[in-house]
Chain A
């Protein structure tokens, strides 16, 4: 069974950094594009970033360009999102997603940016 388990969320002050991780299992991780999608409180779904199977292509939504970095380690079946210069508007539940648009979603992890 496909499993995507996010970790690394929590409370961080504006301007701070956080690194999200996603542990994948139940499928051949290196065969798939992977994505991060978020949902702010009371808002809809918003795609954040995605990365090609070998990490050679990465795309970001404009609002996070220059602040967030998506990466992956195929040997560890893991996806990452390094989030820097965090803002209040980055507060959301972040989902790790297989493919783009996704076909399988993790439960999500809450990131709260507040002083």
Chain B
């Protein structure tokens, strides 16, 4: 059972907009910045969003992050086949004194 809760799966068709949620508590999402990652098997996870809504250079603006209270979401617009894979949210937890990850959401592009 992960400290941060994500839906196990999500799907969409090419060109659609999909959102992935991440739910936590005041000790993690409510009090600290959140990051989002894209992970494909056999490759290292790639940072998509940091500080809740900031994109590293090179990440397309199709990816956006938002946070409200103890919940956050990742939105992907103009869905493409290469967006398939696993998406994780992560952040620091003050109560646990450690980093916590969501359980991951497997995105399928239909």
Give residues in A with beta carbon < 8 Å to B.
35, 37, 44-47, 50, 59-62, 95, 100-108
**Are A45 and B101 in contact (CB-based, < 8 A)?**
yes
Return the chain A residue nearest B105 by Cβ.
Answer: A44
A67 to chain B, nearest CB (A): 15
CB proximity to A under 8 Å, residues B33-74: 35, 37, 39, 43-47, 50, 56
Return the contact of A102 from the options B47, B97, B98 (Cβ within 8 A): B47
Residue B104 is within 8 A (CB to CB) of chain A in the complex:
yes
CB pair A45–B88 under 8 Å, yes or no, is yes
Across chains A and B, the number of contacting residue pairs, with CB separation under 8 Å, is 54
Residues of B whose CB lies within 8 Å of any CB of A are 2, 35, 37, 39, 43-47, 50, 56, 86, 88, 90-92, 96-104
Tell me the nearest residue of chain B to A95, going by C-beta: B44
Residue of A whose beta carbon sits closest to that of B32: A101
Q: Quick one: closest A residue to B34, CB to CB?
A: A101
Chain B contact residues: helix, strand, loop or mixed: strand
User: A44-B2, A103-B47, A103-B50 are contacts. A59–B97 as well, Cβ < 8 Å?
Assistant: yes
Is B44 in contact with A105, judged by CB distance below 8 angstroms?
A: yes
Note all chain B residues with C-beta closer than 8 A to A46: 101
Q: Within 8 Å CB of A37, what residues of B?
A: 99
A contact residues around B37 at 8 Å (CB)? 45
Query: Which residues from B are CB-within-8-Å of A108?
Result: 44
With A44-B104, A45-B90, A47-B90 already in contact, the answer to whether A101 and B44 are too (CB < 8 A) is no
User: Do B98 and A47 touch across chains, with their CB atoms under 8 A apart?
Assistant: yes
Shortest Cβ distance from residue A34 to the other chain B in the assembled complex, whole angstroms: 12
Q: Which residues of A contact B90 (CB under 8 A)?
A: 45, 47, 101
Tell whether, in the assembled complex, residue A47 and residue B101 are in contact, meaning their CB atoms are under 8 Å apart: yes
Bound form: Cα–Cα A107–B43 in Å:
6
17 additional A-B pairs beyond A45-B37, A45-B90, beta carbons within 8 Å, are: A35-B99, A44-B88, A44-B101, A44-B103, A45-B101, A47-B99, A50-B99, A59-B98, A61-B98, A101-B91, A101-B99, A102-B47, A103-B50, A103-B56, A105-B45, A106-B44, A108-B44
